[in-house]
Amino acid sequence: MRTLITGASSGLGEGMAREFAVRGHELALVARRTERLESLAAELSARPGSAQVVTAALDVTDDAAVARVFPEVAGKLGGLDRVIVNAGIGDGRKVGSGQPQANLRTARTNFVAAIAQAEAAMELFRSQGSGHLVLITSVAADRGLRGAQTVYAAAKAGLSTFAEGLRADVHGTGIVVTEIAPGYIRTDLNEGMSMPFGVDAPTGVRAMVEAIERRPAHAYAPRWPWSLLGPALRVMPMPLVRALT
């Protein structure tokens, strides 16, 4: 299996790279921070029996770079079987608090840039007649949230709807589209945040990878308790949503 992961230099992307490497995947790892990326690639390549690992610098908000880098790394691996659109940020602010650039940056990275990545991946998959596109959303996509999470939740909800539209478009073909909605997973990127039902990074990443391997249309990770709480969020009274988030 030849798998490309964006945002692979840290957090969930780095964790998924390690987990897929253990499973023998050939990997294309892309991110902005090339020093961390190269260090990770060297570590994974040094393992006995490791599969090929290639890397490339990529800012996913640079549409032209995305369109160039995806086919480049695919060429190095002889093709791609799976693309995981994982790169994202959680840099939002309360709307109207005088920090619009943080919210615009969050929306562009988590939604607009994800569309550019999906465009590049789907062009490759359509040309070869098969492929697995994985979009990483969030349980936050299930409900509008307050404060600093408002734009983040809206962007992930948009990405969730985008995933559903893509599934409808490729139905009956050799292309599979999967949405993975992580719950609260503790990484160095969200240290200090309030995270009810949060799990450590290895547990959360393992749940994500196991879900990806099943190729579902949609999966929460970890499955418990989010397979119950996620749908429940959609119908909860707003005062209760505010209390939980």
CB atoms within 10 A of CB 43: 14
Tell me how far CA of residue 131 lies from CA of 121, 227, 230, in angstroms. 9, 26, 28
Are the C-beta atoms of 60 and 113 separated by less than 8 Å?
Answer: yes
Question: Catalytic one among 70, 125, 152, 162?
Answer: 152
Any catalytic annotation for residue 152? yes
DSSP states of the chain: -EEEEESTTSHHHHHHHHHHHHTT-EEEEEES-HHHHHHHHHHHHTSTTPPPEEEEE--TT-HHHHHHHHHHHHHHHTS-SEEEE---------TTSS-HHHHHHHHIIIIIHHHHHHHHHHHHHHHHT-EEEEEE--GGGGS---GGGHHHHHHHHHHHHHHHHHHHHHTTSSEEEEEEEE--EE-TTSTT---TT-EEHHHHHHHHHHHHHH--SEEEESHHHHHHHHHHHTTS-HHHHHHH-
Task: Give the residue numbers annotated as catalytic, written as ranges.
Answer: 152
